[in-house]
């Protein structure tokens, strides 16, 4: 993702609508993707993305011209998701949200009406079983195709650590997908069916 | 990635280095195709992106902040016209029945205006349908494909475009062009075109001025033409011709011949049935069955009951699970001896257990499904066992599983049966 030019950055800081539009257009897909993949099935990705951009625009003065916007946005996204998860957990704990948790959480059903929405949710459920540090590397490397050094830069950890986490993340994810009966063929079927949507 | 990993791990000399076999095992289960599938499944849609953008621009939404200045102008314009935005948290909706100025992106009922500006009036907006009238200007709408079961119509003058696809635009020029997908165009209440990828429609020229050869009479009465088209693709885009000066092929115009006689109920039934067999989208199919039921109130009761059952099957694929479950319950209460009651009950139970996570409520329809015996009965017993186990009743689970084993557990649900058995063997 390109760094904003000095003029664009100036316009962003001045709150120029065209610059905000441009910034949103360039990064919306990326941020929403993180929200979907890292936020899990119980958080609304649109809420997350809205919060991320609202915070980003409020804090645009703190964005350094030599920084990568994606690194900066990823940091905000991480915090927003962490806070949202914490809030959701508290709400469940105090009984404000009644989220039934089944022991058998991943019963897609062999001949259930598996549509795109469900596939997304099931993949989210599988990702959600991973610890955050594993979820992040599998999302950035395996789902978004970043190299380990690139992921390391976003996560601010050495590339070697990324490789190490990636192996365990993959193993756990493969197990989670097996657990819920979403096997390789079914996922590939999602591709044949025209993807997620 | 695995080679990189091994190289890096070797360089680092990590004590946690996995064995070759371990790496291969994991790579086989989570190979590049699987990862690509997962990426696509979790990819954000254009509608989601547009909705978030719309929320950010909404000055009065609690979370929106920075684009207040640009939206304020829009809101002011709307206020001057005597119309206000319904600015609540979430997608912005227009007030029903009033003309409002629209500047994309903004949500309009089940659709999102992602491009253009103009004014429009929402004629209907509820969970199942959205009807919008474009008063002037040019607006590009996007409908989330997840909402295909819902009906979205956009009107302009006496032209109505019914879309269950993804993206389309309509201008007050009353011209329609499809880039991807499938739409039906109605004029004066009659269907005048059925458009697919790359096709377009515009109204015929005023009659006395230009003499031209009429197009072949390819259109049949609304809703009853033979359907041989494959299932429509995900994306449906209509673009107005008026803003695009390039020539656009006209594929259908309103026929000036009197409408053919209404086909018999049996013919109409067969027509919809053939569409179902041709893989018509379930949401559109449900609408077709509704049209049949509405158009033929005096059809033989067997036909009507079958049409209702088939509409129910389409709804099961498309309605929100709680609505679908309610519809099945209603149908089974009215038709307790319907030949497909077992399949419908099974589908109902699957939704209850899977989507709604209501194991207790799923047991009754599973019992009905199981009473039919056979392959379906065995499946129903297996999943009833899963439910019983979840509800903390291992004896009942074992009983259900025993019944499934007695019939013969189908191969594709064997893993569920095995899992129940494993858990039953494990000390709790």
User: Percentage of residues in chain B with pLDDT exceeding 70?
Assistant: 55
Q: Lowest-confidence range among A35-44, A132-141, B24-33?
A: B24-33
What are the percentages of helix, strand and coil residues in chain B, rounded to 5?
45, 20, 40
Res A115: pLDDT:
59
Highest mean pLDDT among A149-153, B194-198, B226-230: A149-153
B315 vs B227, higher pLDDT: B315
Contact assignment for A104 to B386 by CB distance below 8 Å? yes
pLDDT at B227 over 70: no
Q: How many angstroms separate the CA atoms of B82 and B65, rounded?
A: 25
Residues of chain A with CATH 1.10.1740.10: 6-93
Eight-class DSSP state of A94: T
Res A195: pLDDT:
45
Contact assignment for A143 to B37 by CB distance below 8 Å? no
Beta carbons within 10 angstroms of residue B365's beta carbon: 27
Q: How many angstroms separate the CA atoms of B300 and B265, rounded?
A: 8
Q: Which residues contact B176 (CB under 8 A, 6 or more apart)?
A: B159, B161, B168, B170, B183, B185, B193, B195, B200, B201, B202, B238, B240, B241
Contact assignment for A191 to B36 by CB distance below 8 Å? yes
Res B241: pLDDT:
32
pLDDT at A41 over 80: yes
Q: How many angstroms separate the CA atoms of B226 and B275, rounded?
A: 7
CATH topology of domain A6-93: Rna Polymerase Sigma Factor; Chain: A (1.10.1740)
Contact assignment for B53 to A20 by CB distance below 8 Å? no
Q: How many angstroms separate the CA atoms of B376 and B399, rounded?
A: 17
Choose, out of B2, B5, B37, the residue to mutate when testing the contact with A (most A CBs < 10 Å).
Answer: B37
pLDDT band at A139 (very low <50, low <70, confident <90, very high): very high
CB of A97 within 8 Å of a chain B CB? The answer is: no
Q: Which residues contact B124 (CB under 8 A, 6 or more apart)?
A: B96, B109, B130, B131
CA atoms within 13 A on the CB side of A168: 15
End-to-end CA distance of chain A: 25
Highest mean pLDDT among A157-166, B114-123, B205-214: A157-166
Stretch 61-80 of chain A: residues touching chain B, C-beta under 8 Å:
none
Q: Lowest-confidence range among B189-193, B194-198, B256-260, B404-408?
A: B256-260
Contact assignment for A58 to B35 by CB distance below 8 Å? no
pLDDT band at B210 (very low <50, low <70, confident <90, very high): very low
Q: Lowest-confidence range among A174-188, B157-171, B228-242, B257-271?
A: B228-242
Residue B221 backbone dihedrals phi, psi, to 5 degrees: -60, 155
Q: Which domains does chain B have, with CATH numbers?
A: 46-201 (2.60.120), 265-425 (1.25.40.10)
The 10s digit of each residue's pLDDT in A71-107 is 899 999 998 888 787 767 665 544 444 443 333 333 4
Q: How far is A169 from chain B (nearest CA, A)?
A: 10
Choose, out of A104, A147, A150, A177, the residue to mutate when testing the contact with B (most B CBs < 10 Å).
Answer: A104
Identify whether the C-beta of residue B369 lies closer than 8 Å to the C-beta of residue B376.
Answer: yes
CB of B73 within 8 Å of a chain A CB? The answer is: no
Closest residue in B to A36 (Cα) is B42
Q: How many angstroms separate the CA atoms of A134 and A142, rounded?
A: 11
Choose, out of A20, A29, A109, A124, the residue to mutate when testing the contact with B (most B CBs < 10 Å).
Answer: A109
Choose, out of B31, B39, B41, the residue to mutate when testing the contact with A (most A CBs < 10 Å).
Answer: B41
Identify whether the C-beta of residue A127 lies closer than 8 Å to the C-beta of residue A148.
Answer: no
Q: How many angstroms separate the CA atoms of B147 and B271, rounded?
A: 25
Chain B CB contacts of A52 below 8 Å: none
Res B20: pLDDT:
60
The 10s digit of each residue's pLDDT in B47-94 is 888 888 887 776 333 332 233 222 222 222 222 222 222 222 233 446
Residues of chain A with CATH 1.10.10.10: 116-192
Beta carbons within 10 angstroms of residue B246's beta carbon: 5
Average pLDDT over residues A130-152: 89
Q: How many angstroms separate the CA atoms of A110 and A126, rounded?
A: 17
Check: complex ipTM more than 0.85? no
pLDDT at B409 over 80: yes
Q: Lowest-confidence range among A57-66, B106-115, B238-247?
A: B238-247
The 10s digit of each residue's pLDDT in B355-383 is 677 889 999 999 999 998 888 899 899 99
Identify whether the C-beta of residue B269 lies closer than 8 Å to the C-beta of residue B292.
Answer: yes
Chain A CB contacts of B416 below 8 Å: 107, 110, 181
- Burial group, residue B286, by CB count within 10 angstroms (0-12, 13-18, 19+): buried
Q: How far is A145 from chain B (nearest CA, A)?
A: 9
| A-B C-beta contacts closer than 8 Å | 190
How distant, in Å, are the alpha carbons of A24, B91, B123, B239 from that of A20?
6, 19, 33, 27
The kind and range of the H/E element at B310 are helix B301-318
Residue B156 backbone dihedrals phi, psi, to 5 degrees: -150, 115
pLDDT band at B178 (very low <50, low <70, confident <90, very high): low
pTM exceeds 0.90, yes or no: no
Res B30: pLDDT:
74
Using alpha carbons only, how large is chain A's radius of gyration in Å? 18
The CATH architecture to which A116-192 belongs is Orthogonal Bundle (1.10)
Average pLDDT over residues A37-53: 88
pLDDT at A27 over 90: yes
Of B42, B43, B383, the CB nearest to A124: B42
The mean of the pLDDT values for chain B is 67
Q: Give strand pairing partners of B124.
A: B131
Closest CA to B181 of B36, B283, B52: B283
Closest residue in A to B64 (Cα) is A54
The 10s digit of each residue's pLDDT in B258-295 is 556 677 888 888 888 877 766 666 667 777 788 888 88
């Amino acid at each position: 993702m390109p760094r904003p030019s000095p003029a664009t950055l100036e316009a962003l800081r001045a709150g120029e609508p065209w610059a905000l539009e441009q910034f949103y257009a360039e990064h919306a897909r990326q941020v929403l993707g993180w929200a979907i993949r890292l936020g899990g099935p119980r958080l609304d990705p649109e809420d997350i993305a809205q919060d991320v951009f609202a915070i980003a625009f409020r804090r645009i003065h703190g964005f350094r011209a030599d920084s990568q916007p994606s690194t900066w946005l990823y940091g905000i996204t991480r915090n927003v998701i962490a806070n949202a998860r914490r809030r959701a957990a508290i709400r469940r704990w105090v009984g404000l949200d009644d989220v039934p948790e089944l022991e058998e959480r991943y019963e897609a059903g062999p001949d259930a009406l598996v549509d795109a929405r469900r596939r997304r949710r099931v993949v989210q459920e599988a990702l959600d079983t991973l610890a955050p540090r594993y979820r992040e590397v599998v999302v950035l490397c395996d789902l978004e195709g970043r190299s380990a050094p690139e992921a390391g830069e976003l996560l601010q950890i050495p590339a070697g650590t990324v490789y190490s986490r990636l192996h365990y993340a993959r193993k756990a994810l493969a197990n989670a997908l097996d657990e819920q009966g979403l096997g390789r063929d079914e996922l590939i079927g999602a591709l044949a069916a025209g993807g997620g949507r | 990635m695995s080679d990189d990993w091994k190289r890096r791990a070797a360089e680092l000399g990590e004590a946690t280095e996995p064995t070759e076999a371990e790496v291969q095992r994991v790579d086989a289960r989570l190979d590049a195709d699987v990862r690509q599938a997962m990426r696509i499944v979790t990819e954000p849609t254009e509608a989601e992106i547009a909705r978030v953008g719309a929320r950010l621009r909404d000055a009065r939404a609690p979370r929106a902040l920075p684009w207040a200045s640009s939206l304020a102008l829009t809101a002011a314009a709307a206020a001057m016209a005597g119309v206000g935005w319904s600015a609540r948290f979430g997608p912005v909706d227009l007030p029903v029945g009033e003309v409002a100025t629209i500047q994309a992106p903004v949500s309009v009922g089940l659709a999102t205006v992602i491009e253009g500006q103009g004014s429009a009036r929402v004629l209907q907006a509820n969970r199942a349908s959205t009807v919008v009238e474009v008063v002037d200007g040019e607006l590009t709408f996007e409908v989330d494909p997840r909402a295909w079961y819902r009906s979205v119509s956009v009107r302009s003058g006496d032209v109505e475009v019914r879309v269950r696809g993804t993206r389309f635009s309509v201008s007050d020029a009353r011209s329609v062009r499809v880039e991807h997908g499938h739409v039906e165009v109605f004029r004066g209440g009659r269907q005048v075109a059925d458009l697919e990828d790359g096709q377009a429609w515009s109204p015929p020229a005023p009659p006395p001025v230009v003499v031209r050869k009429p197009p072949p009479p390819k259109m049949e009465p609304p809703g009853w033409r033979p359907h041989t088209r494959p299932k429509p693709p995900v994306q449906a885009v209509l673009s107005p011709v008026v803003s695009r000066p390039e020539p656009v092929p006209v594929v259908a115009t309103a026929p000036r011949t009197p409408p053919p006689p209404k086909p018999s109920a049996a013919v109409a039934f067969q027509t919809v049935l053939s569409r179902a067999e041709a893989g018509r989208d379930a949401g559109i199919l449900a609408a077709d069955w509704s049209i049949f039921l509405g158009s033929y109130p005096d059809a033989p009761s067997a036909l009507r009951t079958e049409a209702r059952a088939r509409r129910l099957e389409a709804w099961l694929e498309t309605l929100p699970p709680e609505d679908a479950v309610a519809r099945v319950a209603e149908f089974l209460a009215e038709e307790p001896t319907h030949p497909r009651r077992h399949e419908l009950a099974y589908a109902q139970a699957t939704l209850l257990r899977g989507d709604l996570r209501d194991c207790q409520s799923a047991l009754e329809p599973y019992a009905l499904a199981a009473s039919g015996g056979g392959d379906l009965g065995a499946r129903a017993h297996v999943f009833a066992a899963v439910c019983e186990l979840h509800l903390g009743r291992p004896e009942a689970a074992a009983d259900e599983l025993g019944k499934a084993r007695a019939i013969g557990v189908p191969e594709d649900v064997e893993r569920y049966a095995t899992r129940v058995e494993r858990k039953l063997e494990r000390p709790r």
